Amino acid sequence: MKNNEITFVRYGKKEFITLIIVAVFVLSIIYLVLPKGFLTGLLSAIIYVFVSFLIFPIKYVLTGDNTLETHFLFGKRKSKTIKIDEILEMRIEKIGRLIIRYKKDGYSQPASTVLELSDQDIKNVQHELLKRNPKISLNVSSPL
């Protein structure tokens, strides 16, 4: 870990393993019922888990050079890196979801991204972002 770098993990180890086991089990049962057979179901479940690793972020990192990076299984994506100075607003819409609106280069309308974290991690992210950029507005919507 680099200096001044703070990592927030999207899923804890236990929750992530539980998610994978449930997904593989459900997809296997669905495909067992269909006439294609067990191997097709197992193959589909494995593909689902692999694609989930590629699409869904596994952690968020606040770096020392004031950026918020989204990391996936095979590293970070430059398109998902946000400069903290460009963040306009943070909003908690649902339990475990923090929406961040930010200015994106070349666009007149602000873009947004959703961080799915535990309640404690959301509080920590908010505190750290407000400490680094006090101009960020903080809105709280009532959870559904």
pTM of full prediction above 0.85: no
Q: What is the pLDDT of residue 5?
A: 73
Q: What is the pLDDT of residue 22?
A: 80
In tens digits, what is the pLDDT along the chain, a chain of 144 residues?
A: 566 777 776 655 566 667 777 877 877 777 677 666 666 767 777 777 777 777 777 788 888 888 888 877 666 666 678 888 899 999 987 788 888 899 887 788 888 888 888 888 888 888 888 998 889 888 876 554
Residues in Cβ contact with 39 at an 8 Å cutoff, skipping those fewer than 6 apart: none
How far does CA 106 lie from the centroid of its chain? 24
Write out the E strands in 67-109. 67-72, 75-76, 82-83, 87-94, 97-102
